Amino acid sequence: MQPAPQKTQHPDKAYEPVLMLMRARMLHQAGDLDEARSCYKKVLKKAPDNFQALHFYAQAEFAAGHVESGIRHLKRALLADPRSAQAQSDMAGMMTSVGRLEEALTACDKAIALDLTLVQAHHNRGHVLLQLGRLEEAIASFESALALDPTRADTWNDHGIALQKLTRFDKAIESFGKAIEVDPLHDMAFMNRAAVYKELKRLDEALADYDRAISIGKRQVEAGISRVEILLAKKDVQEALRTCTEVLKIEPKSARALTTLGNCMALLGDADTATALYDRALEVSPNYEPAISSRIFSMDFCTNANFETQQAARRLWWDQIGRPVHDAFAAAVDRDRDPDRRLVIGYVSADFKHHSAAFSFAPVISSHDRQRFEVICYSGVALPDAMTAHFQAKADKWRDMSQWSDDQLAESIKADRVDILVDLSGHTAGNRLRLFARKVAPVQVTAWGHSTGTGMPTVDYLFADPITIPKEVRHLFAEAIYDLPSNMIIDPPPSDWWSSEVPSETNGYLTYGVLNRVSKMSDPAILLWSRIMVGNPTARLILKDSSIDDPAVRHTLLEKFAANGVAAERITLFGSTSREDHLRTLQKIDLCLDPFPQPGGVSSWEALYMGVPVVTKIGNTINSRLGAAILATAGIPEFIGKNDDEYLQIALNPDGERLRSIRQGLRGFIYERFGPAVYTRAVEDAYRAMWQSYCASPPADPSRFRKRGATGSTRK
């Protein structure tokens, strides 16, 4: 009996997986991911362990947004061929995309060990290290990639980012330039170089790079908004408004664009419109932190704001931003509970530079008793100046945190064993409130820079005084209120900038002055100032702010006064000057007029030290009461009005003898009663009382803020 004939496989059937794989690759390369993935699946059905099919299918899944599937199939590919350097490099990219950075770094190292010449593996390694904050190692990896292939624009770009983070700005600009040489359409390189120019205050060059990025057309919204920010820095508000409007035509629901437009309106002094725009941004993106923070700051200028609405806005930040950070990162922290030992005080600020906020905390940092307190400054200043050098000289330890992540900053604070950590920014630009949400020090305080409440139960105390925060509203605050003799002070200006002469005694007419930001010059304030000028037809008015350098701002101000019957020739406008010239302007002024609802702070103390009283109106928020608190502290409460009519009468009818006595004697009175040394002793007494309270308290439970909202208490 003859054996049955054997079946022979048709040659086409044997090669079918190969042909199908070739077809899948062609579809993949053509961008048809759906068809490519379908073909890869068919190959894998016939050959489940085919390395190439697994590898390419993983890439297609990843490109289609199916990241976990991509990782799973790439792991199968590496089981089939663990010596594939390219697959290991691709694994690094996928792991990076889902934040599994240590696994990504391991994959990079495996890829490089398998093939030292694989450029992408070196680049991927640099990218991972960049995200891990290991910047020097990242630069070395990028340079290894560029040594193998200097024509990689993306690598030059990332190399520049690492250098920028290390504040090696000239080298960063050079790297971004190399990326642009390789790829003249690399819009991210233009945008990143523009960001460095912005840091260096080279605004025209920054603007040119953003314009080039916009013209490339890949990221018109992102580049356009960045362009607006440069224009605002250049005080060109009208062009900023035009650009922002164009961006919103492209993407009407851009939370960032709506927030930036709000910032434009805030600079024009229209806080109510600005706040409405921030609200629109939050409708689009409820967790958009810049809108939440800008809204908090803008509400300080709104005419209808009060303690309750302002603190509610701060609690929103805690609920949306702060609480999730706390829940993810907070851990128990404790220190040696000796109530009388030398304390370590950490001050956190991005304003250790020539900035108005710095004038409010410089006296304390300079005047601390170093026998009883160690002072550490955590500085977020990217571009130091002479004021930065002054702070650095006064600190026992100086930490440049300008490029640190919150993880790095938290580790430094713990290593420094800080007892009391002080926030000097509140919700203003450059703040590190996310760090304070972690509760990294036993006692946390917010003070001076924007001392209006954070809404954070992880901040224990808020420095204030009985006028700025009346007792009946203190329950609204997350922090316990600790009263100082004054909410804030400043160092006295040099005596040779001061003059004892009262200008009206030689001029024959009164000169009023407003030396505050234009954004504080609200329409209701301008209307009341116009009534004063109409009521005193011989008087003159001086307005001074750096924003007045913008012709559009000058025109708008004069137009508002003209509409209220005040001719332009009676108003003198001054823009940017040195601080000395700024304060010498007060020699020409008899009486300053405080804006409202946001009065002056540093500017009021400056005027009083120069012997010029300030007419203010007390309001119903912290900031709107600050002017009244300062005048009461300085012993001249008769210049505080409870309403518009009282403000008007005080300004129209100043007593000449009183102006003369204030001009000649107020400076010495302030220094004796509230000078830096006296005030700092009060602050130090506050720190000691806070510390003693901590020492007497039970150990901290880091979970205590997770299930409750922000509730306030009061402590004196």
Q: Phi and psi of 371, rounded to 5°?
A: -70, -30
- Tell me which residue range forms the domain holding 518: 496-674
Per the CB < 8 A criterion, the answer to whether 227 and 239 are in contact is: no
Average pLDDT over residues 170-190: 97
Q: Give the model confidence (pLDDT) of 457-506 as tens digits.
A: 999 999 999 999 999 999 999 999 999 999 999 999 999 999 999 999 99
Percent pLDDT > 70 in the chain is 95
pLDDT for res 6: 53
C-alpha distance from residue 106 to each of 10, 54, 488 (Å): 45, 21, 52
Count other C-beta atoms under 10 Å from residue 397's C-beta: 14
| 251 found inside a domain | no
Whether the pLDDT of residue 708 is over 50: the answer is no
Number of domains making up the chain? 2
Do 669 and 525 fall within a single domain? yes
Q: Give the model confidence (pLDDT) of 385-422 as tens digits.
A: 999 999 999 999 999 999 899 999 999 999 999 999 99
Determine whether 473 is exposed, middle or buried from the number of CB atoms within 10 Å of its CB (0-12, 13-18, 19+). Answer: middle
Q: Give the model confidence (pLDDT) of 120-177 as tens digits.
A: 999 999 999 999 989 999 999 999 999 999 999 999 999 999 999 998 999 999 999 9
Do 357 and 410 fall within a single domain? yes
pLDDT-wise least confident of 54-68, 420-434, 665-679: 54-68
Do 367 and 445 fall within a single domain? yes
| Entry pTM | 0.79
Whether the pLDDT of residue 706 is over 70: the answer is no
Whether the pLDDT of residue 291 is over 60: the answer is yes
Do 433 and 475 fall within a single domain? yes
Confidence tier at 705 by pLDDT (50, 70, 90): low
Confidence tier at 710 by pLDDT (50, 70, 90): very low
Instruction: Please tell me which residue, 704 or 109, carries the higher pLDDT value.
Output: 109
Q: Give the model confidence (pLDDT) of 337-364 as tens digits.
A: 999 999 999 999 999 999 989 999 999 9
Average pLDDT over residues 210-222: 95
Do 618 and 518 fall within a single domain? yes
- The long-range contacts involving 370-373, CB below 8 angstroms and separated by at least 24 positions, are 370/396, 371/342, 372/342, 372/343, 372/684, 373/342, 373/343, 373/344, 373/345, 373/684, 373/687
Token pair belonging to 382: 């990217």
pLDDT for res 2: 54
Angstrom distance (rounded) from CA 263 to CA 403: 25
CATH of the domain at 530: 3.40.50.2000
Instruction: Give the DSSP H/E element, type plus range, for residue 40.
Output: helix 33-46
Per the CB < 8 A criterion, the answer to whether 192 and 176 are in contact is: yes
Burial 659-670 (b: 16+ CB within 10 A, else e): bbebbeebbeeb
Mean pLDDT computed over every residue of the chain: 92
Percent pLDDT > 90 in the chain is 78
| 423 found inside a domain | yes
pLDDT for res 44: 83
pLDDT for res 34: 84
Do 483 and 560 fall within a single domain? no
Do 598 and 701 fall within a single domain? no
Do 632 and 696 fall within a single domain? no
Do 480 and 511 fall within a single domain? no
